[in-house]
Chain A
């Protein structure tokens, strides 16, 4: 969560907008970022679930991979079917190391016929682009989009707001992506996000970002939302957070991301760490990411031990907190597969006290994606 103390913090193109809105700023992924606005995390969270929340995620890494065959080249680093990715579609994937561990999770898409557009985590972006550049040298060239900002508009009223202000998104469904003219400039828009709500992620030229931010914030359905609520929203949506729930030791099977390992790729076994991952698919992993409802006491947060009912430590919470929608503790963590079935009773150890918890099926709060 914290930046190296010596490194001066970077700012996004919306920095002045955050200060003007009264944001409390914190270091995150090397950037000075808004953790909350004056409304506070709880109200911002609930606003996003009921209306539309606007997030500055310009710290994330955006780039374009081009080459003779960029889709098949990209498959050398990820377990997803990207050769089969149609223009206009986006796909979630994971960048894998040779042990099948996750270097980062990412979105890759085809807004047009110009190679592959990728969005990676802010804290990982320098390494990600280096890995892609090193591993795919001679096959793809990378254009970093450091001249583009990224906003996310999330919530049940996001579509109505976009229909009024950016009608070129008409007809898009979940995980569609388009390069369009909107807000008077060139955009790359996907219908996706990190909250479990319907919504959009909008890439735009830096020079246009503050104007578009203000335009969106002027809509009474829209409020700016900080990183605090972004985290509680993604947790309720059961979505893993890199550096917490995912790291270089965790495989996509362990992370319960097997949907990102396409059938043809499993058969081809031609991605990094395929031996381990195919074995885990067949025999089950040693540990698996679970979703836990904390049934009593304090919220269980990152680092809290998970124990079985007899009290033996069997795993650890990798992210957890208070769910504003469920009004109780929720957590993601790792447990042995034998204790991972929904309904399994476990304990979480918070400040030395065992508290009852139950494995549930993720997400904690239903996704409301708009599909065809």
Chain B
């Protein structure tokens, strides 16, 4: 699993990347009450806003950690957005992307680097 400074995670399997928000991000947001996942077929560039996660208080953008085409969105989040809090780095995934540029993954932090980054916040 790789991580961004905006607290998204990516897990790559072949040319498909599963994307979500980290446990840290979920804790900071508080209870998630709504998730807007991206439309299947949409092409995103790394750093684009590609999903929105909402708590009672506010809506927050989720940025695409890598470039690619959305091939699947986690439809279960529409009925159970609380999954993002319960299992942010597993069942609470947002979308799967077909990687446009696999080399981008290498630019992201690994877990020790992300944890070191969190320690600076």
Please list the residues of chain A having a beta carbon within 8 angstroms of any beta carbon in chain B.
35-36, 40-43, 45, 228-229, 231-232, 297-299, 301, 321-322, 324, 351
Contact = CB atoms under 8 A, between A and B. Distances in A.
Interface in B25-64: 30-31, 33-34, 36, 52, 54-59
A36 B57 CA distance: 10
In terms of DSSP, what is the predominant structure of the interface of chain B? strand
B31 A42 contact: yes
By CB atoms of chain A within 10 A, which of B30, B57, B59 has the most?
Answer: B57
A311 to B, nearest CB: 21
B37 to A, nearest CB: 11
A229 B56 CA distance: 8
Given A298-B34, A298-B36, A351-B36, A41 B59 contact: no
28 contacts: A40-B30, A40-B31, A41-B30, A41-B55, A41-B57, A42-B30, A42-B33, A42-B55, A43-B31, A45-B56, A228-B30, A228-B57, A229-B56, A231-B57, A232-B56, A232-B57, A298-B52, A298-B59, A299-B34, A299-B54, A299-B59, A301-B58, A321-B56, A322-B34, A322-B54, A322-B55, A322-B56, A324-B33
A322 B52 contact: no
A324 B56 contact: yes
Closest 9 CB pairs of A and B: A42-B31, A41-B56, A322-B33, A40-B30, A228-B57, A322-B56, A232-B56, A298-B34, A40-B31
Contacts of A36: 30
Contacts of B30: 36, 40-42, 228
A228 B59 contact: no
Contact of B59 (A40, A42, A229, A301): A301
Contacts of A351: 36, 52
Interface string B79-115: 0000000000000000000000000000000000000
In terms of DSSP, what is the predominant structure of the interface of chain A? mixed
A297 B36 CA distance: 8
A298 B30 CA distance: 17
Interface of B: 30-31, 33-34, 36, 52, 54-59
Given A42-B30, A299-B54, 14 more contacts: A35-B57, A41-B31, A41-B57, A45-B56, A228-B30, A231-B57, A232-B56, A298-B52, A298-B59, A299-B34, A322-B34, A322-B56, A324-B33, A351-B36
A319 to B, nearest CB: 12
A45 B31 CA distance: 12
Contacts of B59: 298-299, 301
A279 to B, nearest CB: 39
A322 B29 CA distance: 14
A299 B33 contact: yes
A299 to B, nearest CB: 6
Contacts of B54: 298-299, 322
A229 B33 CA distance: 14
A301 B60 CA distance: 12
Contacts of A299: 33-34, 54, 59
Nearest to B49: A351
A250 to B, nearest CB: 24
A229 B34 CA distance: 17
B58 to A, nearest CB: 8
Contacts of A297: 36
Contacts of A40: 30-31
A298 to B, nearest CB: 5
A324 B55 CA distance: 10
Contacts of A42: 30-31, 33, 55-56
A223 to B, nearest CB: 16
Contacts of A321: 56-57
A182 B34 CA distance: 44
A228 B36 CA distance: 22
Nearest to B81: A322
Contacts of B52: 298, 351
B34 A228 contact: no
A229 B55 CA distance: 11
A324 B30 CA distance: 13
Nearest to B57: A228
A109 to B, nearest CB: 31
Nearest to B78: A297
